[in-house]
Amino acid sequence: MSLAHECRGRGERLVLVHGFTQNRRCWGPIADRLANDHELVLVDAPGHGESASDDADLVEAARLVVETGGPAHYLGYSMGGRILLHAALDHPETVKSMVLIGATPGIEDPAQRAERFRSDAVLARRLEADGLPAFVDRWLAMPMFAGLSDEQQHRSARLLNRPDGLASSLRRCGTGAQEPLWGRLIDITTPTKLVVGESDQEFRAVAVQMARSMPHASVAVVAGAGHAAHLEAPDAVADLVSEFRRTTAVS
């Protein structure tokens, strides 16, 4: 079953995979910029937007994403980036290159991973009990999203998601449920750009560590931006993506 998606623009295909609580309507100005020289495929991840497949874990989500996008270049933010790491490992012939924004290969320490799994389960139950609007408001109030304006938050688009779909995504695709991929990063030969916001200190450190393990990865830091760098600085990130695509094509 392919995922709900829409296409726009012309050029080489670039598949966009959003973060948790978002959907394909949450890319904002960066999608408009990238559509100038790419055929964009904007995907609703499992459990989000109009996609079903609520029971998909990250491995299945990766399969569904590449089944929907086909051979292409891929861009993923946060949860979308974690999905694409699995896609690059399991479907390397389909992922020509990828840009990952604020992504992580998971939590190596078993105790910390188990604690995150419990925390994600608590969040899922809270979402089911309190409803989507209250959950989205709490989610957007986290410090990592402090730099987003009301428009950049895409709150109304997030409210188009289904509470049960998001709860399932937390349980199956949350960081606590993720198989840590640190030991497998060396096997990712896909050209990769790891994008992080300047003030996103935790994920900057993760990106630097990832780049040391991945044979064809490099890090780009977006000045003045936080975790959702593509929403806070869409022009800067669009320029990074387009330049990386041009460099990849030449090499």
Q: Which of 53-57, 91-95, 99-103, 138-142 has the lowest mean pLDDT?
A: 53-57
Tell me yes or no: is domain 5-250 CATH 3.50.50.60: no
- Spatial distance between the Cα atoms of 223 and 89, rounded to a whole number of angstroms: 30
Task: Please give the structure tokens belonging to residue 162.
Answer: 């289904």
pLDDT value at residue 104: 98
DSSP state at residue 186 = G
- Spatial distance between the Cα atoms of 127 and 122, rounded to a whole number of angstroms: 9
pLDDT tens per residue across span 89-100 = 999 999 999 999
pLDDT level of residue 246 (50, 70, 90 thresholds): confident
Q: Where are the alpha helices (DSSP H) in 141-233?
A: 150-153, 155-158, 163-173, 201-213, 229-232
The full set of domain ranges for the chain reads 5-250
Pairing of the two strands 95-101 and 217-222: unpaired
User: Does pTM top 0.95 for this prediction?
Assistant: yes
For residue 21, CA distances in Å to 47, 110, 201, 220 come to 9, 26, 22, 25
Is the confidence at residue 17, as pLDDT, over 70? yes
